Structure 1
C-alpha cells in the first residue's frame, strides 16, 4: 500500500519569482489567515533561523505570527517581507 505524503508549499518556493507570485496571490486573496500562512511557508522555505536573525524576531514568535491562526502585526509583516528582499506595494483595485 502506498502512503500519501504531506504537500508543503515551502518545498516548491525556490526562486524569488516563485516567492513573489505566491505572496501576491495570498495578498490578492485578502484573507489574513491565508496571508499569514503564505508568509510562514516562505519563511520556512528561506529558513526560520536566518529570518529570525534578519528581523530580530524570535523563531517562536515567527512560527506563532506566521501560522494560519497567527495575527502578525504590520511591523512584523514589513520586517519579514523586507527580509525576503521584497517590498509591499499598494495599487488601486479595479472596479
Structure 2
C-alpha cells in the first residue's frame, strides 16, 4: 500500500493564534482544565450526583493523565496496570481503587503546597 501524502503545511499548527474572518483562534490545551483540583472535585461530585459513571471515569482519567500516570501510581502505591485498567474506556474500577486515586488529589495538593512554601 502506498502512503498517503500530506502537505507539510497541514502538519504544522499555529504556535500562538490565527485570525479567520475576524475571529481569533488560539491553541487550546484541554489538560490545563485538569490541573485545577477544585474544578475537578466539583466535576467529579456532579458526575456522582447525576449517577453518570462514564463521566466520572472520564474526568478521573483526564486528571490522572494530566498529572502523569506514573507519578500518580507512585503516590497511591498501585501498579500502572491497575490504574490504566481503572481509567480505561471499558474500565470498571473498584471502590478501593477509586479511593486510592482520589487520595492522590490530597497528596498532590500537599506536595504543591510544600513546594510553594519552600520558595
TM-score (norm 2): 0.58
In structure 2, list runs of 5 or more residues that go unmatched. 1-8, 14-27, 108-119
Backbone CA RMSD of aligned residues: 2.6
Flag the structure with higher strand content: 2
Deviation at 1:62, TM superposition (A): 0.8
CA distance in 2 between partners of 1:69 and 1:44 (Å): 16
Larger RCO: 1 or 2 (CA < 8 Å, sep 6+): 1
| Residue 26 to residue 64, structure 1, CA distance change in 2 (3 Å) | same
Segments ≥4 residues shifted beyond 3 Å: 7-11
Instruction: Give the total of aligned pairs.
Output: 84
Structure 1 or 2, whichever has the larger Rg, is: 2
TM-score (norm 1): 0.70
